[in-house]
Amino acid sequence: MRGMPKDAEKNPDADKLAELRDMEAKVRRMRDNRNSLRDQGKAMAKKRNAVQDQYKEHREKLTLMKAELDAIHAERNMHRAKRDAVNEQLRDLFAQVKGRRGEHGEKKSATAEYSQLLSQINNLEEQFQTTSSSTKKEKETMERIKRMKRRAEELEPEVAKFEMVAVDLSNLDEAIATLKAESDDAHNLFVEALKRADEKWAEYKEALDHRDFLKAEGDRHHNESVEFHEKANAIHEKIDELMVNVNKARDELNMARQERESWITDHNKSVKAEMKTGAESDEVADMLVQSLLSDGELVFGGVGREDNTQKSKRGGASSKKKNMRRMGPIRRR
């Protein structure tokens, strides 16, 4: 300002303003860092979602592969069960061929007894039809055949549980040969199914490993996304703390500026009031009215009739007006 010292012309809030500018610059840098971390977190989340979509598709593929593997296992188990059952039937027939008749109190097997009954029934029926005998003898033969058939019917359910292959038990050698062939076929099918199961399991195991890899990748991207967002949130909290000081500094600067502006406004009003002419002053107007009422004459400009003859004193009045104008109004910067 004109006529004021250089120190007064310097902004009194310069230090506070510089401090505010530094804090605002720091806030901008922190916001850029926070936004960058959030963008990285979103990028990791996008990768995680893509991997998880692959994981879901791969699980559906695994479900189908597991169903195929279970079907092969069921087929393998079926062939093994048939082979084992036929082998059990073979062992029973072998025991019969070796003459295990229950010596030493050992009970004959149901299959051995059943096959023996069928053989005896066939022989008796053939004798009854081809030989002639007395009526009494024929009656006894018929009763014996009936008893054997009843016993054979009693053994049929138990024999059926172990008889996987229908064979003619009246011819044990042929029955054994048939069962051996059936056992070999069942075993070969079992081995073939076992081989296919091993191949499918190797493929399934590889798919399981890929599933685990996708899950690990999805978890890794998720953890990285969470980590980036946590760092961004931590910086955001620091920004909020710093903004308290920024807003406080802004408020203090605004209050100081408003206070200076108010002082300048009041000062200018005071100077303007002091520099008013008589025509502009309400006090002078009141004084003229009082003079007219009391003396019957007006004094204009603050000068009386006696003063009109004293023109030599005009210089003094002019110097007084100059003194009144020496201090002008203050302009706002």
Query: What are the pLDDT digits (tens) for 150-201?
Result: 888 887 776 665 554 555 555 667 777 888 888 899 999 999 999 999 999 9
**Cα–Cα distance measured from residue 146 to residue 153, given in angstroms and rounded to the nearest whole number:** 11
Which of 78-82, 138-142, 302-306, 326-330 shows the highest mean pLDDT?
A: 78-82
Check if the beta carbon of residue 197 is closer than 8 Å to that of residue 76: yes
Cα 325 from Cα 4, distance rounded (Å): 17
Higher local confidence (pLDDT), 2 or 49: 49
pLDDT computed for residue 241 by the predictor: 92
pLDDT, residue 105, reads: 46
Virtual CA dihedral for 117, 119, 121, 123, nearest 10 degrees? -150
CA distance 260 to 329: 15
Residue 36 is encoded by which pair of tokens? Answer: 């960058």
The rounded distance, in Å, linking the Cα atoms of 224 and 278 is 83
Q: What is the mean pLDDT of residues 317-323?
A: 47
Q: Tokens representing 206?
A: 């590889």
Confidence of residue 203 (pLDDT cuts 50, 70, 90): very high
Distance, in Å, from the CA atom of 94 to the CA atom of 172, rounded to the nearest integer, reads 9
105/234: higher pLDDT:
234
Residue 291 has a pLDDT of: 65
Q: Provide, rounded to the nearest whole percent, the portion of the chain with pLDDT above 70.
A: 69
At 119 the pLDDT is 74
More confident of the two residues 306 and 38: 38
Mean model confidence pLDDT for the chain: 77
Q: pLDDT digit string (tens) for 106-163?
A: 555 566 677 677 777 887 777 777 777 777 777 888 888 888 888 888 877 766 655 5
What pLDDT shows up at residue 104?
45
Q: Measured between alpha carbons, how far is 230 from 268 in angstroms, rounded to an integer?
A: 57
Residue 198: predicted pLDDT: 94
Greatest pairwise CA separation for the chain in angstroms: 200
pTM of the model: 0.51
* pLDDT given at position 148: 85
Lowest-confidence pick of 2-11, 35-44, 182-191, 249-258: 2-11
